[in-house]
Amino acid sequence: MYSILRDELIKTSDVIVVKVGTNVLTHDNGHLNEERIERLASDIAMMFKNNKRVVLVTSGAVGAGMCSLNLSLRPVEIAELQAVAAIGQGKLIEVYERFMSKHGLCTAQVLLTADDFADRKRYLHLRNTILALLKFNALPIINENDTVSVSMLHTTFGDNDHLASLVANLFDTPLLILLTDVDGLYDRDPADPAAKLITVVEQWTQDLMGMVAAKRSKLSKGGMSSKLKAAKIITESGGNVIIANGDDSESLHKIFNAQEIGTLFITQDNHMSARKRWLGFAVRAEGKITLDDGAVKAVKTNGKSLLPIGVIAVAGAFDRGAIVSMIDRNGNEIARGLTNYNKDDLIKIQGKKTNEIRQILGHSVYTEVVHRDNLQVTD
């Protein structure tokens, strides 16, 4: 039913971002599954030969390091975890290079941290570098820089599903393929015999997160929850997502040939500019602004700027021009944007009318706390 649509998505996507997880890349004992990587390289080479631009986001550095050191359990201490990642990253990229070179393709290692996305200039340089690599017909192989990204090793913010969504969002109409160790999204816990695979998601609903079963392994950090969050980011900004089982060595080949495997998430037709995507998803917020119900409706539904009168609380430490998160009374983020006021001044004018700003601060350069042009709804 959806094979024609899948074929169209493959043809119209400007970049295909393939993310492969640790459990797909390794055996049960944590050792790298080189046969799987060899097949993955073959399928990616096939895409290149069909004039598709492909970017690979790969997990596996810690797993590869555990293999080299004959470790059976993932280290807990930060320094040890970073050391294992440093050892494994070299082995991981060597395996990819070996198999991609058989198809006449070069590989390029790109290690990233959240700061590379948070800083606007670095964000643009990253995008231009990846585009240049693709122009050279080289495969960008992207991983999180676990050796220096301390917090990312211990929080879901650092899982590679999120990283893959940020990489995919560098482009206008990406197709993000998340290869995992399950067949896709089920309507309940896959362990339930009555569970059914959802083949396509045309519209995002909050019920989707309720279908997720918590899952962790000793090697990986993500799970279906992180994949759904990645799918939400991409479909809200103009791209499409497929979650499929990477344990099937034919999965990427089947996807490229428009076979109906996994779960397809269709774009919500909310195409964003590159700057809006950066504001909404790539950069970290430095503070939080709580909005009253009227301001939430004005920003989220009516497409209005945020005015001081709608602010009821301010948290964090930020200067004028920083990215702030706008939340409702229950703490749910509804938008992000560039603030026209620093924290101290905003506290003074919160809840006030715009014509009172000059009297309170001695100046009134801006009537808006966050202008609509510098704001992106995220809920």
199 and 227 housed in the same domain: yes
124 and 192 housed in the same domain: yes
Distance CA 24, CA 39 (A): 12
Is the distance from CB of 225 to CB of 209 less than 8 angstroms? yes
Per-residue pLDDT at 157: 39
Beta strands 323-327 and 15-20 are unpaired
Residue that wins the pLDDT comparison between 78 and 124? 124
Residue 214 has pLDDT above 60, yes or no: no
Per-residue pLDDT at 3: 76
Read off the tokens for 193. Answer: 């015999």
Domain count, the chain: 2
Give the count of alpha carbons within 13 A of 24, CB side only: 30
Per-residue pLDDT at 151: 53
Residue carrying structure tokens 């998601």: 201
Residue 312 has pLDDT above 80, yes or no: yes
Distance CA 80, CA 217 (A): 19
Q: Which of 242, 276, 310 is the last residue of a domain?
A: 276
268 and 303 housed in the same domain: no
304 and 272 housed in the same domain: no
Kindly report, residue by residue over 125-181, the tens digit of the pLDDT. Answer: 999 999 999 999 999 999 988 666 655 443 333 578 999 999 999 998 899 999 998
CATH number, domain with residue 364: 2.30.130.10
50 and 185 housed in the same domain: yes
Per-residue pLDDT at 205: 77
Per-residue pLDDT at 294: 96
22 and 104 housed in the same domain: yes
Kindly report, residue by residue over 16-72, the tens digit of the pLDDT. Answer: 999 998 888 888 777 788 999 999 999 999 999 999 999 999 988 888 888 889 888
Per-residue pLDDT at 152: 44
Per-residue pLDDT at 149: 62
Beta strands 263-265 and 287-291 are unpaired
Per-residue pLDDT at 220: 46
132 and 243 housed in the same domain: yes
Identify which of 264, 259, 251 has the alpha carbon closest to the alpha carbon of residue 175.
264
Distance CA 276, CA 271 (A): 10
Q: What is the mean pLDDT of the chain?
A: 87
Q: Using CA of residue 278, residue 141, residue 162, residue 272, what is the dihedral sign?
A: positive
160 and 209 housed in the same domain: yes
42 and 134 housed in the same domain: yes
Q: Using CA of residue 129, residue 180, residue 43, residue 65, what is the dihedral sign?
A: positive
364 and 215 housed in the same domain: no
Per-residue pLDDT at 287: 94
45 and 106 housed in the same domain: yes
Distance CA 308, CA 234 (A): 31
164 and 201 housed in the same domain: yes
Identify which of 179, 60, 158 has the alpha carbon closest to the alpha carbon of residue 112.
158
CATH number, domain with residue 196: 3.40.1160.10
Distance CA 174, CA 12 (A): 9
Name the strand (E) or helix (H) holding 242. Answer: strand 240-245
As a whole number, mean pLDDT of residues 305-319 equals 95
Name the strand (E) or helix (H) holding 54. Answer: strand 54-58
Q: Which of 276, 308, 340 is the last residue of a domain?
A: 276
Read off the tokens for 153. Answer: 């090793």
Q: pTM here? A: 0.82
List the domain range (segments joined by +) for residue 181. Answer: 3-276
